[in-house]
Amino acid sequence: MEAFKSLINYISNPTILVTAVIVLFPFVFPPTNWFYKVNKRLHLDKLWTGKGLLLMTVVTIAFFIFGLGDYNFRSIVLKPDNVPISGLILLLIFFTWLSMSQAYKNDELIDQGKSVDEHYDAPNDKVLVWPDLVYVELISLILFSAFMLIWSIGLPAPLEQPANPAESPNPAKAPWYFLGLQEMLVYFDPWYAGVVLPTFIIIGLMAIPYLDRDPNGSGYYSFKNRKLSLSIYLFGWLILWNVLIVIGTFLRGPNWGFFGPFEYWDSHRLEALTNVNLSEIIFVKWLEIGLPQSILLREAPGLLIMFILIAVLPVLLAKTFLKKSYEDLGPSRYSIFVVLMIFGALLPVKMYLRWLFNLKYLISIPEYFFNF
Amino acid sequence: MNNSNNQERYYNILKLNKWFALSSILFTAFWILVFADDFNRPWKKYQIEFRKIEIEKVKQDINLEKVALEDSDEYESLINALSKSRSDLELESAKVEDINSKIKLLNIELYKINQDFQFSKADMDAQRYAYEEALFGHGNIEEAEKKYNKLRTKTDKVFLVAENKQSEIDELSDELKLINANIKKYEDAIFSVSKEKLLLERRLTKLDPESMNLSNKVANIVRDLPVIDFIDPYYDVKQVVVNDLKEDLVYMGMPKVDRCMTCHVGIDKKGFEDQPQPYTTHPRLDEFAGGSSPHPMSEYGCTSCHAGRGRGTDFISSGHMPKDEIQAKEWKEKYGWEALHYWEDKMLPAQYVEAGCFKCHSDNMPVVGAETLTLGMATFEKAGCYSCHSMDRWEDTPKPGPSLYKLASKADKDWVYRWIMEPRAFRHNTWMPHFFKKGNNSSPEDILRSEQETLAMTEYLYEYSEDYNLAKGLKSGDPENGALLVASYGCMGCHQIQPEVDESYEPSYENIRLQQGPNLIGLGSKTTEEWLFSWLKNPYSYHPGTKMPNLRLTNKEASDIASYLIEDKIKDFDERLVPNIDETILDEITSDFLSQVNSTRQVEKILEDMSSKEKLVLSGKNLIGHYGCYSCHNIDGFEDRKPIGIALNYEGSKLISKLDFGFWHDKIDHTKWDWFYNKLDQPEKFDLIPNDDGTISVKQLKPLEKSRMPHFGLEDKEIKSLVTLIMGLVKDEIPPTKLPEKTPKYLAVTKGEQFIHTNNCMGCHKIDGKGGAIWTSTSDWLRQVADNTNAEDMSLVQSFSPPILNTQGRKTQPQWLLNWFKNISMVRPHLQARMPSFDYTDEEWNTVISYFQSKDDLPLTYENPHNFVKNSSSYKAGERIAEMGACNNCHFYGEEKPKQAALTWAPNLVLTKERLRPEWLVEWFTNPQDVMPGTKMPAPYIPTEEPVNSVVEVWGKDVAKISTDSTKLYKALNDWMWGMSGRKDVSAIVRRHISSNGYGFIIEEDDDWGDEDWE
């Protein structure tokens, strides 16, 4: 039992956890035909059947039940603040399953040349506002209110002590829906993780209908026809957002240190902070000539990388891998799309750079409060 | 999609209806649950239960009253008288009826007439206005005047009629009252006799539904029904709001709101003492919670003393904390208890509850009624905690350890080394703590380093030790006589001689007095006879600030005592090895300090140029600074250093998150008091790591990083008392209205109490029944110079012990007392114990004197001298009373020795006029036992009860004049004493007498009376 717990603690380490999730991801949500074939061959598509849902739910619940036997796990999971996050995991599984199972069913129907479930036959597919919409909404409203009532009785508001500036809670956590952002603060400068990135997320979400104008698979659930776009979206949503929330809730302890789910939250544990900037790696470690005086020269490697990422890479991609996309989207939409993709991908890349090379910042100009 | 058929609706409406019904029912059910949850408060069951208990109690009380009334003759006779009056009234019933009917008729008439009068008056007023208008020029004056006058006459007439009717009614009513007077009288008398019972019965009708009338019965049920119980419920949250005590919510202070009495319903009510929690009465209702106590609940709340979360209304949310594991277990089973995680000031558990007293009563010493807190304060002072941990409360307290300025003259280096290394190996109950061989510095390498550190500190102390000229005059002493002197002169008021650990020792405020000075063992190992002699002769010459006073010993006495004390040696301590200097370790130690301000290369260079001695002295100085030795001892070179510990002023308010539980987080309960307990029990505990197999490892710390706080070898009770004190060191702001009033008396008494405690006056003296630690030693001395019977005679022990200081403020003249303190002379001729000469300043002596005076409610004022006329009648009467009372049996009259043996000798009466206050003497003569319980002084015999004739015959005419007034007789005695003159200092006579005749103890030997003792 203890061995299992330490195993879980071990694989909960962000390096392993994130790597595992990233590696598994394309097999579960195949972005290309090759992965799609493998997905089918490994019968991973069975996850989206009723049995699959049952399996995922049972495994998750079983893990929680097992975990509740452990004091440390219990004290974190049962904290009234954190209970919704456990619910979030289950809901996430259910809704992902719901859409994927519908999508796979529709894919099959299309393969068989039949019309899909959600096929809309205007103007015959008419539904009356009353009672078909309003009545259902009313029922939902009542049920939801009932649920909120029983929750408020069963799990009273988690009131804590009077606020005290001399004693901030350790760990100090953002509201759960911001924990993904807070997790990014570990890897990025606050202005980037807290301002730029969220803005990109919003812009990116708003840009989707303008970037993806492919009518194929539009208006109903489907996967096969939109493998890449769906995988990219799900990667962003599930991994870059929800996994980070779960990590932030359950696995980040005192001093924002990383703790396995069965580990004691020891506020005295010391984490060695030995992060270095790219300029230090290049000028001090490799070239051994010391940091140049000039800021521009000092940060030249980072700026060069940024230049490559923003100016060179999109062009290269347009000529090679994404040639088709470039042709489909045209230069302006393509450049928006590709820049958003690059910044999205930078998040996990930066995480890996931190873990592998203790890289603090690619560009670090604290003189002007600019770090990246 | 299924719209090909003609169905209008997408969903089946019947199904939706079912869903709607189901969800509505569910919603309603949960809504009801919300009300049920709101209605079903955890405290309600306690109030329901308490109501039952209270009903039972009131019923019982009513029964008791009933029985008492039945037994009361007064009540019975009143009842009889009442019934007789009632039957008397029956006889006159016809008359009464007649009067009543007349009154009724008259009232009807009066009503009518009154109305007529009102209307007539209204008409008149209106007409008056019309008349005045006419006078002004609007209307006919004449006509208006006529009308007005007519109306006025009418009104006056009607008024007269009404008045007559009223007086008729009054007359009849008076007549009726007269007839009923007896009944009213007896009813009033019965009411006043049975008032208690009636009040109880009325109370019962409010409490007990069975005793209510129907409408109240219904109301009683309705008022507590769910939902409408917000209007005026019987069962409700009870609270006190104390506006001037603030709850510190960091950003703001909120008035204290305590709801504890919601469950502890009987806490401020008498009569529930035997009920279990939470119904019981406060165990100290006279002091706390009760309306007439000094700390009424309505003004102080509960959490101001007990801490906890006053707004909580269930067991957990109010912050209850168990006193031990057993209680915790019990609570978990009974209430599902867990510590209230989100409240910093949890309720103080039972053993630490007195901590709450300190925030207001820190001035006092002792805090009467708070034994644990007082012991904590005394221990804090005794152990010298305040010298490393600065604290405002003990700011001016002198250093607890002896001065080391002249150490070289006192002890040799080897002894000092061994002592620092392990003080308790030399003196088992010393307050000097252990710095070495603790849990975090006991590895073989650590001990090697500790040895070198100790050598270094010793070296420093000797290097900077001043020269000290020992007093001359040491003779070869007589140890046996020395032992007698030690037992009798008063040494044992502050010291003990206790070679072995006393297993039965119980730490207490009283017992700490015996440890004012060190346990006098092993002095032969520690010092030399010469030094001891010199110290005894004049302690202040060695250490001007010492608490050891000068006993004015002669060279012979000092030599005897020195020769006695020096005899005791502690062999195995003397045999402990003192290691040689280890250059490698010494270099390490030295460089640890040097490297704080130098680079490694500089350190190497400095070390090269240093001799071993220089290294020793340098590290010695740094180590003394590091361990804080200078906090307790005077050491050359450390005069201006700040204490090494953290200030403890607000330690009790420290956030628990600021206390490092280290690796003990699951071994020690997460409370402040448990942390403090463990810190005091084993100060280095949080340097240690408990392993799973029960062994202990030490954290990886450099020598200078280790916890320095030394081991005091405290007992459980002492630790708990200290924790109580620390928990009391809180930041709470208390408004002056809640504090004891700072009257001049209060200030003088508290200041004096502290002085008397610090200087251990009560080691020798008893005040108000407390103190007198020396009595055991007096008894021991009596055993040696007389026998067991004498030693066990408590009145004898008392008479040979320093005097009891009750009423001291009223007793002596302050100027005499001050002079006497500064120049002690003999007062009690028989006493061996000596009032020492203390080197206090005038201000300090004034503290003592005004303490005694304020305590006795005597403001320090100039007093007129006692006026008397020598050879007046009063004077002569006094002389005669003294003669009859044979005062000279015990008292010296100047040179004239008392008639009885030295055993019973009492003060020289010549001293009285300058020493005592005449008012006090009257008080004293009236009943000496009241003033000084156990005294041998009898009340002077006076003839107040005798017939005047015989008084004239036996006592003479002067006494007879005032023979019925005891005060005058006592004043006569004063006059006589004030007229006395003669030799004041009889010490030489006494010394001569005792050395040749002895005390004259009555010693029983084989039925043979030692008659010669009486001669």
pLDDT tens digits, B161-189: 999 999 999 999 998 888 888 888 888 88
Shortest alpha-carbon distance between residue A275 and chain B (Å): 25
> Domain B741-855 class?
mainly alpha
Can you give the pTM of this predicted structure? 0.87
Q: Does A150 sit within 8 Å of B1, measured CB to CB?
A: no
| Residue B8 touches chain A, beta carbons under 8 Å | yes
Shortest alpha-carbon distance between residue A164 and chain B (Å): 6
pLDDT value of position B1011: 46
pLDDT value of position B600: 93
Rounded Cα–Cα distance for residues B322 and B671 (Å): 11
Shortest alpha-carbon distance between residue A219 and chain B (Å): 14
Q: How many CB atoms lie within 10 A of CB A24?
A: 11
Shortest alpha-carbon distance between residue B380 and chain A (Å): 29
- For A143, the closest chain B residue by CA position comes to B23
Q: Does A128 sit within 8 Å of B33, measured CB to CB?
A: no
Q: Identify the burial level of B650 via C-beta atoms within 10 angstroms of its C-beta, where 0-12 means exposed, 13-18 middle and 19 or more buried.
A: exposed
What number is the average pLDDT over the span B345-361?
Answer: 95
- Tell me the chain B residues in contact with residue A120 when contact means C-beta distances shorter than 8 Å: 1
| Residue B187 touches chain A, beta carbons under 8 Å | no
Among B14, B27, B660, which would you mutate to test the A interface (most chain A Cβ atoms within 10 Å of its Cβ)?
A: B27
Shortest alpha-carbon distance between residue B395 and chain A (Å): 27
- Tell me the chain A residues in contact with residue B29 when contact means C-beta distances shorter than 8 Å: 146
User: Among partner residues A121, A136, A165, which is closest to B16 by beta-carbon distance?
Assistant: A136
Could you state, in order of their start, the residue ranges of all structural domains in chain A?
2-117+130-157+220-256, 278-371
DSSP B881: H
Task: Divide the 372 residues of chain A into consecutive groups of 10 and give the mean pLDDT of each group.
Answer: 89 89 94 92 92 95 93 90 90 95 91 82 78 91 95 83 81 89 90 90 91 82 88 91 91 90 86 87 89 91 93 91 87 91 91 90 88 85
pLDDT tens digits, B362-375: 999 999 999 999 99
The correct answer on CATH 1.20.120.1200 for the domain covering B72-193 is: no
Chain A residues in contact with chain B using a Cβ-Cβ cutoff of 8 Å = 118-121, 124-128, 131-132, 135-136, 138-139, 142-143, 145-146, 149-150, 152-153, 159-167, 170, 264, 266, 268
Asked whether the predicted pLDDT for residue B800 surpasses 50, the reply is yes
Asked whether the predicted pLDDT for residue B313 surpasses 50, the reply is yes
Among A153, A160, A168, A263, which would you mutate to test the B interface (most chain B Cβ atoms within 10 Å of its Cβ)?
A: A153
What number is the average pLDDT over the span B196-220?
Answer: 90
- Tell me the chain A residues in contact with residue B33 when contact means C-beta distances shorter than 8 Å: 149-150, 153
Q: Does A124 sit within 8 Å of B4, measured CB to CB?
A: yes
User: How many angstroms separate the Cα of B873 from the Cα of each of B209, B845, B870?
Assistant: 78, 40, 9
* Number of residues assigned to chain B: 1015
User: Among partner residues A149, A162, A268, which is closest to B30 by beta-carbon distance?
Assistant: A149
Q: Which CATH architecture has domain B873-1014?
A: Orthogonal Bundle (1.10)
pLDDT tens digits, B6-21: 456 778 888 999 999 9
Q: Does A153 sit within 8 Å of B37, measured CB to CB?
A: yes
Q: Does A119 sit within 8 Å of B1, measured CB to CB?
A: yes
pLDDT value of position A266: 83
Q: Does A161 sit within 8 Å of B20, measured CB to CB?
A: no
**How many residue pairs from chains A and B have C-beta atoms closer than 8 A?**
79
Shortest alpha-carbon distance between residue B779 and chain A (Å): 59
What number is the average pLDDT over the span B524-551?
Answer: 94
Could you state, in order of their start, the residue ranges of all structural domains in chain B?
1-40, 72-193, 237-347, 741-855, 873-1014
Q: Are B426 and B675 in contact (CB under 8 A)?
A: no
| Residue B42 touches chain A, beta carbons under 8 Å | no
Q: Does B3 sit within 8 Å of A142, measured CB to CB?
A: no
| Residue B4 touches chain A, beta carbons under 8 Å | yes
pLDDT tens digits, A44-60: 989 999 999 999 999 99
- Tell me the chain A residues in contact with residue B344 when contact means C-beta distances shorter than 8 Å: 161
Q: Are B457 and B541 in contact (CB under 8 A)?
A: no
Q: Given CA atoms B540, B542, B547, B551 in this order, what sign does their dihedral have?
A: negative
Nearest to A252 by CA among A196, A176, A188: A176
User: How many angstroms separate the Cα of B165 from the Cα of each of B106, B220, B796, B826, B1015?
Assistant: 7, 48, 89, 93, 102
Nearest to B574 by CA among B418, B409, B461, B431: B418
Q: Are B628 and B643 in contact (CB under 8 A)?
A: yes
Q: Does B23 sit within 8 Å of A132, measured CB to CB?
A: no
Grade residue B631 by pLDDT with cuts at 50, 70 and 90.
very high
- For B250, the closest chain A residue by CA position comes to A164
Q: Are B714 and B380 in contact (CB under 8 A)?
A: no
Nearest to B663 by CA among B822, B911, B439, B979: B439
| Residue B64 touches chain A, beta carbons under 8 Å | no
What number is the average pLDDT over the span B563-577?
Answer: 94
pLDDT value of position B1014: 44
Query: What is the average pLDDT value for chain A, to the nearest integer?
Result: 89
- Considering only residues 290 to 349 of chain B, which have any Cβ-Cβ distance to chain A shorter than 8 Å? 342-344
- Tell me the chain A residues in contact with residue B31 when contact means C-beta distances shorter than 8 Å: 149
Q: Does A127 sit within 8 Å of B10, measured CB to CB?
A: yes
pLDDT value of position B860: 64
pLDDT value of position B93: 83
Grade residue B520 by pLDDT with cuts at 50, 70 and 90.
very high
pLDDT value of position B532: 95
pLDDT tens digits, B256-295: 999 999 999 999 999 999 999 999 999 999 999 998 999 9
* Tokens representing residue B963 in the block: 């023979």
ipTM of the complex: 0.82
Residue type, B524: G
Q: Does A142 sit within 8 Å of B20, measured CB to CB?
A: yes
Residue type, B878: G
Asked whether the predicted pLDDT for residue B989 surpasses 80, the reply is yes
